[in-house]
């Protein structure tokens, strides 16, 4: 089950909302390692359906725009940290 709000009870793992994060996590079986289980075909199909809704990652920024990109990533990290704190 995917909980974008981070407020549902039970065990959870934080994973960013970028397509590349999800693709890597499933490819390298990171969720299975974190939860110490094997994903069923049904669960995997549900995750694949969720991943299909994620937008493609933005291409790499040119060097002159890199400073602006870093500021955006910092804000996204801050927002994610606030969500984690609210969930606790």
pLDDT digits (tens, 9 = 90+) for 51-83: 998 888 776 666 555 555 554 554 444 454 445
Q: Is residue 50 part of a domain?
A: yes
Q: Is residue 6 part of a domain?
A: no
**pTM for this prediction:** 0.55
**pLDDT for the residue 86:** 56
Q: Is residue 73 part of a domain?
A: yes
Domain count, the chain: 1
**pLDDT for the residue 12:** 76
Residue 9: which residues within 8 A CB-CB, separation 6 or more? none
**pLDDT for the residue 87:** 55
Q: Is residue 10 part of a domain?
A: no
pLDDT digits (tens, 9 = 90+) for 10-39: 777 777 888 898 899 999 999 899 889 898
Q: Is residue 34 part of a domain?
A: yes
Cβ distance 54 to 22 under 8 Å?
Answer: yes
Q: Is residue 32 part of a domain?
A: yes
Rounded to whole angstroms, the Cα distance separating 44 from 51 reads 10
Q: Is residue 1 part of a domain?
A: no
**Domain hosting residue 64, numbered range:** 19-87
């Amino acid at each position: 089950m995917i909980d974008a709000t981070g407020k549902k009870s039970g065990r959870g793992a934080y994973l960013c909302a970028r397509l590349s994060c999800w693709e890597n996590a499933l490819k390298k079986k990171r969720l299975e390692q974190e939860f110490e289980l094997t994903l069923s075909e049904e669960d995997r199909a549900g995750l694949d359906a969720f991943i299909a809704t994620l937008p493609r990652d933005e291409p790499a920024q040119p060097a002159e725009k890199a400073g602006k990109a870093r500021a955006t990533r910092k804000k996204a990290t801050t927002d994610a940290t606030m969500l984690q704190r609210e969930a606790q």
